[in-house]
Amino acid sequence: MVKRDNRLALDTNIVIDILNDNQTIIKRYIDYHQIYLPYVVCGELLFGAINSSKPKQNLKNFRAFINRCTILNSNYPVAEAYANIRKELKEQGKPIPENDIWIAAACIVYEVPLATRDRHFEYIPGLDLAK
């Protein structure tokens, strides 16, 4: 089954599941052919690699994965989306991790659905979450 428009952004937890060969996650997202990583996810992955007990091996694996994806970079529209999301969440009394606001902002601006296991992304209006 080919997914609508074949585009998908991955949150850090989904990338880790894929790299750990989680077959349930792999099967769920295998039909997406255009995989994107918000720049913040790249930073989280690289930090996790260098902070791990096997930094050389993890850096090699993470870099190889990152290099096969398209990066969703930051720009003025992403910064503006970030500010609006953060303000709205503050007004709703639903703070979420700062990095996740940046991830959501990039996905909204680039109009790419996000695959994540973090339920707090559901608080963000306009963010398309992959099922």
Q: What is the mean pLDDT of residues 103-124?
A: 97
Residue 19's CB is within 10 A of a number of other CB atoms, namely 14
Mean pLDDT, the chain, integer: 94
Q: Rounded to whole angstroms, how far apart are CA atoms 92 and 82?
A: 15
More confident residue, 30 or 83: 83
| CA atoms in the 13 A half-sphere facing the CB of 104 | 25
pLDDT tens per residue, range 59-68: 999 999 999 9
Cβ atoms of 44 and 99 within 8 Å: the answer is: yes
Domains in the chain, CATH or no CATH each: 4-123 (3.40.50.1010)
Q: Is residue 1's pLDDT more than 60?
A: no
- Region 99-117: mean pLDDT is 97
What mean pLDDT do residues 117-130 have?
Answer: 95
